[in-house]
Structure 1
Amino acid sequence: MKPIWIVDDDDSIRWVIEKALARENLITKSFTNARDAMLALQTESPQVLVSDIRMHGASGLELLQTVKAKHPGLPVIIMTAFSDLDSAVAAFQGGAFEYLAKPFDLDKAVELIRRALDESLREANVEQTISETPEILGQAPAMQDVFRAIGRLSQSNVTVLITGESGSGKELVARALHKHSPRSSQPFIALNTAAIPKDLLESELFGHERGAFTGAQTMRRGRFEQAEGGTLFLDEIGDMPFDLQTRLLRVLSDGHFYRVGGHQPMKANVRVIAATHQNLESRVKDGLFREDLYHRLNVIRLRLPSLRERREDIPLLAKFFLAQSAKQLGVDAKRLSDSAMVFLSGMDFPGNVRQLENLCNWITVMAPGQTVEILDLPQDMLPAANIAASPNATNASPEHSKIESVKYISPLEVAANNASENFSHERESKLGGATWGALLEAEAASMLNDGQIDVIVKLSRSFESIVIKAALKHTHGRKNDAAIRLGIGRNTITRKIQELGIDGARDD
């Protein structure tokens, strides 16, 4: 972490702040005037800058202007006497993070610097992530449509409504729209409207004047002012309180708003991108969302596919998240076995990409060995993780118990572990010289060429049905014998017979 810079020509002020931050284990660097700080900015930069507004030589406002030109995202706290409040308010127009009125309470000053530091580190992490990794990963046709839409919107300032399930990557798309827009050099400000309490959301959006409500000891800029010239991303817009929807509509209509407790209209030059996982049309019909606001937001709609609609991207995403997690922890990246990868590709992932990322973080920390098998995955992901509680579990052997802890048998596992040895050269000759693998590959290619989706799920059901029917035929319908021959548990084959609608099975 970079040091916190303190710029003040008053030795006692610098000394007090330095000592207070040292007790917090924070590194500082001090300057007696703004000119020295400006010169230092040519070769280095702070994490947070705290500057007096009136000093000998260049003022704090001039320093603020220089800082914002070189480092737009750097939080700057302006210190000022009460007589300089007008200047401090003007400083906000130049992008100051907050102002600190002298004489100040030292604990409150440290708290403010801490808040600025958290903001700086968060923004730095976001920028580093964006610069070091691809914006959005995806090779599926559905994602290619999204990429094409981002490209078409690259030179537009039009309002965009992004829809999609939670965890599908709506904020990533919003950031990509901003990055490739004419506003890319200006701020991108994100706000989750569902995460802010209703009584604070108005102030968070539009800011407030000093004394506007209890606890409003200073004037504060809202997200619209922070995003001036750039993009404001409003996530979960469907959860915005109804009365605030009216104020948002006003901004979208004529570009003006008022701070809470303010009487001076503010002009907003901001592109709004909104996102929701909800059905806004239904909320409009239910009277929970303003129809006129819906039409203001729904200029261009961009729908993100769920992860189950782009299963072919799961291996790509899993490898990326495993590598990313390993890098963060300073360990070697783990690898999913082929069977584990097929298993994950067949999952629905209701939490979408976010759920897959969390799973990869879990694997990096918790999974034994470098190659991860199905049984190494979290137990709550395995459909029969609670098999020990079933009535039949007490009579099962340890080997069967271990196998039955995973109900799902992927086609690759069955083929590799149970079925491949039975396909001898004699059977290959009966198939006209083609192996069963080649026929399976041909069938998969045909389905993909036809534009079908959920191909692996359909093939898995067909494969399992064929193998179980063959085993039942071999054992004259005795399903317990068939289960033993297949290497799966008694409960598993019973469930599969029911799911697949297989006839002709009987208990031994």
Structure 2
Amino acid sequence: MKPIWIVDDDPSIRFVLEKALARENLPTRSFTHPREVLDALADVTAGDPARQGPQVLVSDIRMPGGSGLQLLEKVRELQPGLPVIIMTAYSDLDSAVSAFQRGAFEYLPKPFDLPKAVELIRRAVEESQREEVTEERQTATPEMLGQAPAMQDVFRAIGRLSQSQVTVLITGESGSGKELVARALHKHSPVADGPFVAINTAAIPKDLLESELFGHERGAFTGAQTQRRGRFEQAEGGTLFLDEIGDMPFDLQTRLLRVLSDGQFYRVGGHAAVKAHVRVIAATHQNLEQRVKEGGFREDLFHRLNVIRLRLPALRERHEDVPMLTRHFLQQSARQLGVEPKRIADSALARLEQFAFPGNVRQLENICHWLTVMAPAQVISLQDLPPEVLEAPVYQPPVRATAGAEPAAATVTSMPVAPLAPVAPVAQPAPELVGGLHPAAQVSAPVSASAPAAVASWSADAAAAPVAAAHSWEQALETEAQKLLAGGQPEVWDALTRRFESRLIRTALVATHGRRMEAAQRLGIGRNTITRKIQELGLDAPDEA
């Protein structure tokens, strides 16, 4: 690990911190003047192999060789992600607050309590290490982010479709990122060198939509003074993305069906057929099967579009992606506004993970933009979150029929157009696989059937019988153990123990707002034990409050 740099003209302060950090196995390097720090940073920037940059910088605010605030500004220019702790006397509290607002990780009043100072430095080290991992992951910014199983299924499906130009229908709630999936399908396709043209069929008035799609000839209608190429012609040799296809007017659906079936169209007011060499990707937040039943959507067009269906999960279905997306959007907002990116405390992240996000990823992006502007400090705390998050009830995901088992990844076997048929829903009202491909495309998705049917019936009984709720988790544990043992999985004890301890520690940390000491006391274990468990289990533990 890189050392903690200590800058103070007082040798006693340097000595005390060096010894205390050494007992915690944290390496240190001390300086007496800010100029020495800047020279050392210059050596690191120049690539001197004998010099190692700091993990954290701890600096006094007033020194004969210069101001800690000036040092803070220059360090932030050289290493924006480096946590800087400013030490100050009580009389300098206003300066410390100013430093905090200008990018300091935290300030440390003198005289300080040594254990609290060490704990603060350790928190800064953890933050610095997280920032390093984040920077490594964002060196090449990915087009889509997601570690949740449902998103990994989407990524796999995009990979399987990378050599095909088949028509794809993307379904998902508003704000879940359907256009990003469409762009990824285009980028990883045989027509990636061609244009990607997107049009929101719900955002354009009906009278103009036909001209937007197919173009028009000169004099076709009042105001048509020149010939105009439509979106189909603009997308020639590439991909046309039809967003919110469920809102397309019924008469235009007929024209779209003709293009998909014949591969040609006519401009408005034109008589010469125009060939369309275009891959079509459509998206909707609506249930198209229901729209067909209601007479609002053509059944034959539905079949033409529904060759391969990808369902994009809502953000509340992949809450484990919230921390990664939050940090990404905070970085993005900072770049757009030309300011330093803000960090977010784990306690605030934990609360975001408990939010239902009715607006999905778009809402999280807006919240991060709001926090970049409105949060008063450089580190976003729990109380800085907007009222819509703080006042919302904790989201409880629905109980699944099988405990601890996800549907197996879908695999494409063939892709003919299938007849419209009722499909049984999978944990959703819409007949779609989570993050995978629609059964109408003849997709084999071998969902695990090893869990006994009693699990589903037990879930319903548990909801209807509060008397049995106290023993429900024990019954679920017994069912899961039976399934793993029957499946021949090795080391069942270790696997279930890790899952049990992980869930228990996370729950305790949320209940204590990230205070590890209190969480350990309430669980009846020692602080060292909970710290070790957090490290062993790889938990992203909330910050100390």
TM range (shorter): 0.5 to 0.7
SS at match of 1:274: strand
Matched residue type, 1:280: L
CA distance in 2, matches of 1:250, 1:361: 43
Q: Tell whether 2:478 aligns with 1:381.
A: no
Q: How does 1:24-173 map to 2 (within 5 A)?
A: 133-173=141-181
Cα deviation digits, residues 400-428 of structure 1 (max 9, x gap): xxxxxxxxx98535435778348559944
Q: CA RMSD in A?
A: 3.3
CA distance in 2, matches of 1:426, 1:189: 56
Q: Tell whether 2:340 aligns with 1:332.
A: yes
Q: 2:182 aligns with which of 174, 177, 180?
A: 174
CA distance in 1, matches of 2:252, 2:239: 19
Larger Rg over CA atoms: 1
Cα deviation digits, residues 191-229 of structure 1 (max 9, x gap): 000000011000000001111111111110100000011
Matched residue type, 2:324: L
Cα deviation digits, residues 82-117 of structure 1 (max 9, x gap): xxxxxxxxxxxxxxxxxxxxxxxxxxxxxxxxxxxx
CA distance in 1, matches of 2:352, 2:519: 27
Q: 2:278 aligns with which of 251, 261, 270?
A: 270
Point out which structure has higher relative CO (alpha carbons under 8 A, 6+ apart). 2
CA distance in 1, matches of 2:336, 2:267: 41
Deviation at 1:381, TM superposition (A): 2.5
Structure 2 partner of 1:80: none
Cα deviation digits, residues 351-377 of structure 1 (max 9, x gap): 111111111111111111011112111
Q: 2:363 aligns with which of 355, 360, 367?
A: 355
Residue identity (%): 70
Q: Tell whether 2:517 aligns with 1:420.
A: yes
Q: How does 1:446-485 map to 2 (within 5 A)?
A: none
Q: 1:302 aligns with which of 310, 317, 320?
A: 310
Matched residue type, 1:228: E
Gaps in structure 2 of 5+ consecutive residues: 1-137, 394-505
Cα distance change of structure 1 residues 152 and 422 upon mapping to structure 2, 3 Å threshold: closer
1:161–1:297 Cα contact (<8 Å) kept? yes
SS at match of 1:321: helix
Q: Which is worse superposed, 351-360 or 410-419?
A: 410-419
2:347–2:513 Cα contact (<8 Å) kept? no
Q: How does 1:188-207 map to 2 (within 5 A)?
A: 188-207=196-215
CA distance in 2, matches of 1:279, 1:209: 36
Structure 2 partner of 1:476: none
1:194–1:236 Cα contact (<8 Å) kept? yes
Q: How does 1:178-257 map to 2 (within 5 A)?
A: 178-257=186-265
Structure 1 partner of 2:119: none
Q: Tell whether 2:325 aligns with 1:317.
A: yes
Cα distance change of structure 1 residues 426 and 209 upon mapping to structure 2, 3 Å threshold: closer
SS at match of 2:259: helix
Deviation at 1:336, TM superposition (A): 1.0
Structure 2 partner of 1:12: none
SS at match of 1:285: helix
2:342–2:379 Cα contact (<8 Å) kept? yes
Cα distance change of structure 1 residues 215 and 414 upon mapping to structure 2, 3 Å threshold: same
Structure 1 partner of 2:292: 284
2:154–2:312 Cα contact (<8 Å) kept? yes
SS at match of 1:308: helix
CA distance in 1, matches of 2:516, 2:238: 59
1:142–1:305 Cα contact (<8 Å) kept? yes
SS at match of 1:310: helix
SS at match of 1:319: helix
SS at match of 1:189: strand
1:249–1:296 Cα contact (<8 Å) kept? yes
2:355–2:389 Cα contact (<8 Å) kept? no
2:350–2:510 Cα contact (<8 Å) kept? no
Matched residue type, 1:379: P
CA distance in 2, matches of 1:427, 1:283: 56
SS at match of 2:512: helix
Structure 2 partner of 1:107: none
CA distance in 2, matches of 1:237, 1:323: 33
2:315–2:361 Cα contact (<8 Å) kept? yes
SS at match of 1:251: helix
Matched residue type, 2:236: E
Matched residue type, 1:257: F
Matched residue type, 2:187: K
1:251–1:257 Cα contact (<8 Å) kept? yes
CA distance in 2, matches of 1:140, 1:147: 11
Q: Which is worse superposed, 418-427 or 345-354?
A: 418-427
Cα distance change of structure 1 residues 182 and 196 upon mapping to structure 2, 3 Å threshold: same
Cα distance change of structure 1 residues 187 and 417 upon mapping to structure 2, 3 Å threshold: closer
SS at match of 1:133: coil
Q: TM-score, normalised by structure 2?
A: 0.50
Name the one with the larger helix percent: 1
CA distance in 1, matches of 2:161, 2:209: 29
Q: TM-score, normalised by structure 1?
A: 0.53
1:342–1:412 Cα contact (<8 Å) kept? no
Deviation at 1:380, TM superposition (A): 2.9
1:339–1:410 Cα contact (<8 Å) kept? no
Matched residue type, 2:175: G
Deviation at 1:439, TM superposition (A): 8.1
Q: Tell whether 2:375 aligns with 1:367.
A: yes
CA distance in 2, matches of 1:258, 1:174: 26
Cα distance change of structure 1 residues 410 and 199 upon mapping to structure 2, 3 Å threshold: farther
CA distance in 1, matches of 2:310, 2:191: 19
SS at match of 2:282: strand
CA distance in 2, matches of 1:249, 1:305: 28
1:342–1:410 Cα contact (<8 Å) kept? no
1:188–1:231 Cα contact (<8 Å) kept? yes
Deviation at 1:300, TM superposition (A): 0.4
